[in-house]
Amino acid sequence: MTFLLAVHNTNRLGTDQLGGTSAENGLGVLVVSKLNMSLQHALAAKRAKSMLGCISNSIAGKLREVIISLYSALIRPCLEYCIQFWYPQYKKDMDKLEQVQQRTTKVAGGLGL
């Protein structure tokens, strides 16, 4: 028989009691108390999509070579930062990250990356 004890630590700053959180952000990686990384995948995809939007709106000529080099320098690091820790375990999370790559391919004019 296993007994699980719910331990609730109360942290204080002087006389004020601090509230608890269910997620912590350390070094740019969002860690939820249940170790579900879906929020981290959504956050990484959101960062990469916004970066791609900025790139596609600001490039005048939209040359493929320029978009590919900007993708490699700016967008790919958003998708690959600490990937060893938050590697996608579920298909829905993998699809979120692949949508960014598909959108980049569409912006680059059908060139495979």
pLDDT over threshold 70, residue 99: yes
Q: How far apart are CA 100 and CA 60, in angstroms?
A: 21
CA 100, chain centre distance (Å): 11
| pLDDT per position as a tens digit, 43-59 | 888 888 998 888 888 87
Q: How far apart are CA 58 and CA 77, in angstroms?
A: 20
The whole model's pTM is what?
Answer: 0.62
CA distances from 69 to 23, 62, 79, 105, 107 (A): 34, 12, 15, 13, 13
Q: How far apart are CA 43 and CA 37, in angstroms?
A: 10
